[in-house]
Amino acid sequence: MSVKPPRILPYGDSAVLVDYEVEGYSETANTHLHHAAKALRGDPVWQEIVPSYKSILCVFDLATISMESATSKIEKTLSQLPQTPKVSGKIIEIPVAYGGEFGPDMAAIKKSSGLTQSQIIDTHSGQDYRVCMMGFIPGFCFLSEIPSVLKHPRHPTPRADVPAGSVGIAGWQTGIYGLDSPGGWQIIGRTPLKLFDKTRENLFLMEAGDTIRFIPSSKAIF
């Protein structure tokens, strides 16, 4: 399926925003933008390329290239992309201990979904997810849309401390906390994997465009 050409807009003095005009989450648009982000990273003029759910932020040095030239570069790159690209990121298996002490909000999801804990686990882990963007803390990964039955609003008041590795739900999203942090997502499980490790050569376990596969595990070691 093809996607509508994105808008290309100035974003401050030294950045350009490539914005795909979609409502909610679009797998097609997200696939296209991650392919575009990969292509843009091949040009050293960009200081940073930051993809998200429906846009790409392209940061440049105004001392070396003008806004007009930067915009032209993006237009040229986008024009050379296939209309139906495929993203070739890594597939990363994430072991998760669901429920119990690791999933303090499992009861809330059971109530809103009408599912048993086993059904919630099967549903949440029953599909792969794309890493759509990274933030708001090091290692936090925002993933693609969850099955509709699991959708649940975040807490009205965030917790003061959510452990690193916590797997949560917020509205239509699911994600994993990269560090201990305050947070308002509904926590249904935890992984012992370190998504961010400052002592590791590759600081981040994953990057935008990768695929996450949750593996239920009662033997996860923390």
> CATH no. for residue 52?
3.30.1360.40
Ramachandran assignment for 15, one of left (phi > 0), alpha (psi -120 to 50 degrees), beta (any other): beta
- Regarding whether 193 and 122 lie in a shared domain, the answer is yes
Would the pTM count as exceeding 0.75? yes
For 4-22, write each residue's pLDDT tens digit.
889 999 999 999 999 998 8
Residue 3 pLDDT grade (very low, low, confident, very high; cuts 50, 70, 90): confident
Among the three residues 79, 107, 138, which one is the final residue of a domain in this structure? 79
For 186-203, write each residue's pLDDT tens digit.
999 999 999 999 898 889
Going by C-beta distance under 8 Å and a sequence separation of 6 or more, which residues neighbour residue 147?
123, 124, 126, 127
- Regarding whether 75 and 95 lie in a shared domain, the answer is no
Higher pLDDT, 98 or 22: 98
Residues paired with residue 59 on neighbouring β-strands, in sequence order: 15, 48
- Regarding whether 65 and 95 lie in a shared domain, the answer is no
- Regarding whether 141 and 109 lie in a shared domain, the answer is yes
Q: Does a structural domain hold residue 44?
A: yes
pLDDT of residue 118: 97
Among the three residues 48, 79, 110, which one is the final residue of a domain in this structure? 79
Residues paired with residue 130 on neighbouring β-strands, in sequence order: 211
- Regarding whether 102 and 58 lie in a shared domain, the answer is no
Distance CA 192, CA 200 (A): 16
Among the three residues 26, 46, 79, which one is the final residue of a domain in this structure? 79
For 146-175, write each residue's pLDDT tens digit.
999 999 999 999 999 999 999 999 999 999
- Regarding whether 143 and 113 lie in a shared domain, the answer is yes
Q: Does a structural domain hold residue 2?
A: no
Q: Does a structural domain hold residue 204?
A: yes
For 44-64, write each residue's pLDDT tens digit.
999 999 999 999 999 999 999
The Cα-based distances of 55 to 10, 52, 75, 132 in angstroms read 13, 5, 14, 10
**Is the predicted pLDDT of residue 115 greater than 80, yes or no?**
yes
Q: Does a structural domain hold residue 64?
A: yes
- Regarding whether 162 and 71 lie in a shared domain, the answer is no
pLDDT of residue 179: 95
Residue 184: exposure state from Cβ atoms within 10 A (0-12, 13-18, ≥19)? middle
- Regarding whether 187 and 126 lie in a shared domain, the answer is yes
Domain total of the chain: 2
Domain enclosing residue 96, as ranges: 91-216
Average confidence (pLDDT) over 125-132? 96
SS3 46: strand
**Is the predicted pLDDT of residue 107 greater than 70, yes or no?**
yes
Report, in this order, helix, strand and coil percent for the chain, each rounded to 5. Answer: 20, 30, 45
pLDDT of residue 48: 95
pLDDT of residue 85: 67
SS3 211: strand
- Regarding whether 103 and 12 lie in a shared domain, the answer is no
